[in-house]
C-alpha cells in the first residue's frame, strides 16, 4: 500500500523549475515541474552524489551541477551512463499539495543507492 507523504505546496514549484525536499526518514528527493507535470527523483546523482534538485532543467532533462551528468526526470534514465539511473518516485497532487510515495521508487544505482528498490 502506498505511503503518500506531503512534501510541498504545488505553488512552491513553478513551471520549468526544480527544488529539493527532505522526507520524514531523512532522505532527500528532487521535485521538477516539466510543462505543468510534477516529477520526483532521488536528489542524489548516481555519479558522486551531486544535488540534482540544484541542477539545470531543460525539458525533462536535468543536468547535475557537479559534473554534468544528465538524467530524465520522468524515467530516471542517465543519458551519460544508462547503467546508472536514479530512482523516480510516484507523485500525486491533492488540494494544492504535492505528495510523494517514497516506497514506490523505481530504478536507481550508484553512490546514491537504490532507495529500497
Answer yes or no: is 98 within a domain.
yes
Between CA 104 and CA 81 the distance in angstroms is: 23
- 115 burial via Cβ count (<10 Å: 0-12, 13-18, 19+): buried
> For the segment 36-82, what is each residue's pLDDT rounded down to a tens digit?
999 999 998 887 778 999 999 999 999 998 888 999 999 999 998 89
Answer yes or no: is 63 within a domain.
yes
Cα–Cα nearest to 74, from 88, 57, 86:
88
CATH code at position 98: 2.102.10.10
Answer yes or no: is 61 within a domain.
yes
Q: What residue numbers bound the domain in which 42 lies?
A: 5-104
> For the segment 11-42, what is each residue's pLDDT rounded down to a tens digit?
999 999 999 999 888 889 999 999 999 999 99
Instruction: For residue 104, report the phi and psi dihedrals to the nearest 5 degrees.
Output: -100, 20
Question: What's the total number of domains in the chain?
Answer: 1
The count of residues in the chain is 117
Answer yes or no: is 114 within a domain.
no
Amino acid at each position: 500500500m502506498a505511503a503518500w507523504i506531503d512534501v510541498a505546496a504545488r505553488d512552491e514549484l513553478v513551471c520549468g523549475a526544480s527544488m529539493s525536499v527532505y522526507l520524514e526518514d531523512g532522505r532527500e528527493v528532487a521535485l521538477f515541474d516539466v510543462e505543468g507535470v510534477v516529477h520526483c527523483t532521488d536528489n542524489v546523482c548516481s555519479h558522486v552524489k551531486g544535488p540534482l534538485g540544484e541542477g539545470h532543467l531543460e525539458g525533462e532533462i536535468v543536468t547535475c551541477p557537479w559534473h554534468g551528468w544528465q538524467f530524465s526526470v520522468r524515467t530516471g534514465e542517465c543519458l551519460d551512463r544508462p547503467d546508472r539511473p536514479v530512482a523516480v518516485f510516484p507523485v500525486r497532487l491533492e488540494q494544492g499539495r504535492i505528495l510523494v510515495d517514497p516506497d514506490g521508487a523505481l530504478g536507481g544505482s550508484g553512490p546514491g543507492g537504490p532507495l529500497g528498490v
